[in-house]
Amino acid sequence: MVKAYLARVLAWFKGLSLVKKIITASGAGFLAFVLLFFIMLYLGIFGAIPNRNDLTNLEALQASTVYDETGDLLGKIFEVNRTYVSYDTLPENLVNALVSVEDERFYKHHGVDYRALGRVLIKGLLRGQNAGGGSTISQQLIKNTFGRRQRKHFGLIIEKFKEIIAAKRLEKIYSKEKILELYLNTVPFGENVYGIEAAAERFYSKHPSLLKPEESAVLVGLLKANTSYNPRLNPEASKERRNVVFAQMLKNKYLTDDEYNELCAKPLEINYNVASLSNHQPHYMALIEKTANELLADDKKRDGKPYDIKNDGLKIYTTINKSIQTAAENAMHEHIIVLQKQLEANWGRVRPWGADPKLLQNAIENSRRYNYLKRQGKSKEEIEKIFSTPIAMNIYFADKSRVIKSSPIDSIKHLLFQLKAGFVVRENKNGHLLAWVGSPSYEHFKYDYATAKRQVASTFKPIVYATALEEGYKPCQYYRNDKITYTDYDDWEPENADKKYGGKYSMAGALANSVNVVAVDLLYKAKKENVVEMAHKMGINSDIPALPSIALGVADISLNEMVTAYSIFGNSGELVPNRIITKIEDKSGKIIYENKSNDAEKVMDEDNARIMIELLKGVVDKGTARRLRQTYKLPNDLAGKTGTAQNYSDGWFIGLTPAITAGVWVGGDQPAIRFRSGTYGQGANMALPMFALMLKQLNADTSLNKYTQGEFAPLDKALLSKLDCADYVDDNGLEKFFNSLRTKELSDDKIERRNRRKKILRSVFDILD
């Protein structure tokens, strides 16, 4: 039968004229080509078409949202800035505007608008006119979700047909309302903003449900050209496009003539939300993302895939307190302005690289611009010319970043001479990180200085003292204030900062005045290896050499590690690991991680920890940190220690209230970027003021009283007796008491006895005079 049919067709074809034969053969060939094309298309030869399973599991990639300890939104972690919203929350004016402009027959077709496709073919191919893309909302959703592999010529036609097939499949699965929901949660609005929730937040600082008709029209207008119709960058063009949207809504009977005229007459207004910008996330967000990835490393989603923090729409609840974080950032900003002015005045017209040209050369060769030009194959002469040519740049200044015209070499000199800082606040009892500031400006300084390993200077001394207490040495033993040569360490001869010697100090007097020779003496008495072991037990993971100079803080340790170590003094000698995440939920609200552990580790005797608090309170009340009382008039119960590195390259302060430990480091990228005198370069001037400025802000906020207004537990009589001694005894045996606020904690009889002793000492001094 088939043979007979083919024979009749062949006989018919032979009877045709030559012209008809050509036409018939061409038509048959074209039909065969089309058939083959669609077979290959369905077989995936040109790339897979989303199947029913792919479309059933269709969901937008979502940013993960991060919350502070009170539940307030801190920010988002994302690859593209997108947060999912349901159709029920979308205002009717937004949906009507979208359908009017993007797909006016949306409710009538089943994924493909053949009239629109015909219009595109006729106007585009035959008349050479621009008639739009002809893609329905369903087709655009497929494109936004699965992307296009090819965008030119025949490849684009293939992608269009794949989208048509997938769109028809899509409409068999989802309702029209769900398709609109999916579309509005995936469509790009420019500025790395995806989805209507992020767009409404960016341009109007509100949730989409609160959008007014004129605001919805602006956002829908953006879809045609994200940059050209950006209301911030091109307000006039955006307004014109908005009114085109209104015209389409009028045409489709979503607006009356009066409503149309009223809306078109409105001025273009936005309430731009700079805080939602993706490239301004602070350092603590990077720490949260890193920690979340570590916590979920071994967990899998229902589909067996690992969690993607940037795209899975997780809810991450953290320990960060937004008020304390803001106070720390404000304090750093305020004081870094002062310090930068002091640094520039201290150096005058010269700069550190004048004496050390390699300092500047290394900064140039480590710059991104230099390395980019090297990769491009530029010669040394070409690079030097580029680096000498002024261009417009967004340059960091301590007070405020500014766009100025500067050569790359001058900008490197400027940035190299800027002081950097880190600030960490930690809760003593549970290890919760309440604030984390990694630099004065995340936009310009991505490196996290809270994790930088720098010379810790005298902030290491309390660890030496704590080890000595653990080894049985008493706070009221007296230690010689003598200059000693240590022959076992290359005849090393440590010196006091004030070059003054003689007499003997108790632990309280020596720590309050940061006496170097006593710290080294205590290190030898407690043994170097014991001090190193204690440091590691206190949460310091950095390498610490077993050398006597570590008593003066020559080891390079991070601010985060030092804050962790000091918090042990405020937590009765117990170490609790840092915590920054308390709970993580997936997008459906299921808890996938929750921290309920309280894995405290006993590091030192509780009495010794309390003695250390008393010694550190002395530093604040009568020692190197007395500015907290004298200059900043802080009434809080405080303990702390300053630190000043060699040549003033690093300034430190770590302070405690009964509830929190807060640490500050200040310095340059290189040790050579430093103050030239102790007046400015000491930790009491560089770092301590940031702690003070932050605490003043916290004191003014009564909601933070639990962190600021408590008092350290009073010492019992046994501990008080261990501390009942003079701070200093001179070579004639005369005792000296530095001004202290601690006497308020002594019993009345002890106060009376001490006052009598002071009167006797004053009489002796008078006789000697």
Q: What is the pLDDT of residues 397-409, one digit of tens each?
A: 999 988 899 999 9
pLDDT higher than threshold 90 for residue 543: yes
The pTM assigned to this predicted structure is 0.78
Q: Do 229 and 245 meet the contact criterion of CB atoms below 8 Å apart?
A: no
Which amino acid is residue 392, in one-letter code? A
Q: Tell me what pLDDT residue 229 has.
A: 94
pLDDT of residue 571: 97
Least confident of 28-42, 165-179, 252-266, 376-390: 28-42
pLDDT of residue 250: 95
Rounded CA-CA distance 69/590 in Å is 19
| pLDDT computed for residue 147 by the predictor | 66
Q: What percent of the chain is helix, strand and coil (3-state, nearest 5)?
A: 50, 15, 35
Cβ contacts of residue 530 below 8 Å, gap of 6+? 467, 470, 471
22: confidence class by pLDDT, cuts 50, 70, 90: confident
pLDDT in tens, 506-532: 999 999 999 999 999 999 999 999 999
What is the residue-averaged pLDDT of the chain? 87
Tokens standing for residue 17: 């004229």
pLDDT at 62: 79
Alpha-carbon gap, residue 474 to 478, rounded angstroms: 9
How much is the pLDDT for 735? 79
pLDDT, residue 747, reads: 42
**Interatomic CA distance for residues 729 and 377, integer angstroms:** 70
Alpha-carbon distance 569 to 610, whole Å? 7
pLDDT recorded at residue 170: 85
pLDDT of residue 757: 56
Spatial contact of 618 and 512, defined as CB atoms under 8 Å apart = yes
Query: pLDDT, tens digit, for every residue of 26-35?
Result: 766 667 665 6
The pair of three-digit structure tokens given for residue 296, joined into one six-digit string? 């979920």
Residues 693 and 690: their CA atoms lie apart, in Å, by 5
d(CA 461, CA 569): 13
Q: Which residues contact 387 (CB under 8 A, 6 or more apart)?
A: 364, 369, 370, 407, 408, 409
Per-residue pLDDT, averaged over 726-730, amounts to 92
Q: Say yes or no to pLDDT of 423 above 70.
A: yes
Write out pLDDT tens, residues 632-643: 999 999 999 999
List the structure tokens of 60.
Answer: 């937008």
Three-state DSSP at 453 gives: strand
Q: Is 43 helix (H, G, I), strand (E, B) or coil?
A: helix
Tell me how far CA of residue 68 lies from CA of 34, 83, 278, in angstroms. 59, 18, 18
Across 24-33, 330-339, 591-600, 669-678, least confident range? 24-33
**pLDDT reading at 688 higher than 60:** yes
Other CB atoms closer than 10 Å to residue 173's CB: what's the count?
Answer: 12
Residue 160 confidence (pLDDT): 73
pLDDT score for 761: 47
Share of the chain above pLDDT 70, in %: 84
Q: What phi-psi label fits residue 75: left (phi over 0), alpha (psi between -120 and 50 degrees) or beta?
A: left
pLDDT at 143: 81
Kindly report, residue by residue over 746-766, the tens digit of the pLDDT. 344 544 555 455 455 445 444
Lowest-confidence region among 182-186, 384-388, 469-473, 548-552: 182-186
Burial (CB < 10 A; 0-12, 13-18, 19+), residue 607, is middle
User: What is residue 678's DSSP assignment?
Assistant: H
d(CA 707, CA 699): 9
Alpha-carbon gap, residue 492 to 456, rounded angstroms? 20
Structure-block tokens of residue 533: 């072991």
> What pLDDT is attached to residue 111?
79
pLDDT bin (cut points 50, 70, 90) of residue 281 is low
pLDDT tens, 121-172? 665 454 444 445 568 888 888 887 776 555 555 555 666 777 777 788 888 8
The lowest-confidence range among 52-56, 70-74, 154-158, 239-243 is: 154-158
Sequence-distant (6+) residues with CB within 8 A of 17 are none
Please give the residue that has the higher pLDDT: either 616 or 368.
616
Q: What is the pLDDT of residues 588-602, one digit of tens each?
A: 899 999 998 778 999
Look at 464 and 52; give whichever has higher pLDDT. Answer: 464
- Please check the confidence at residue 240 and state whether its pLDDT lies above 60: yes
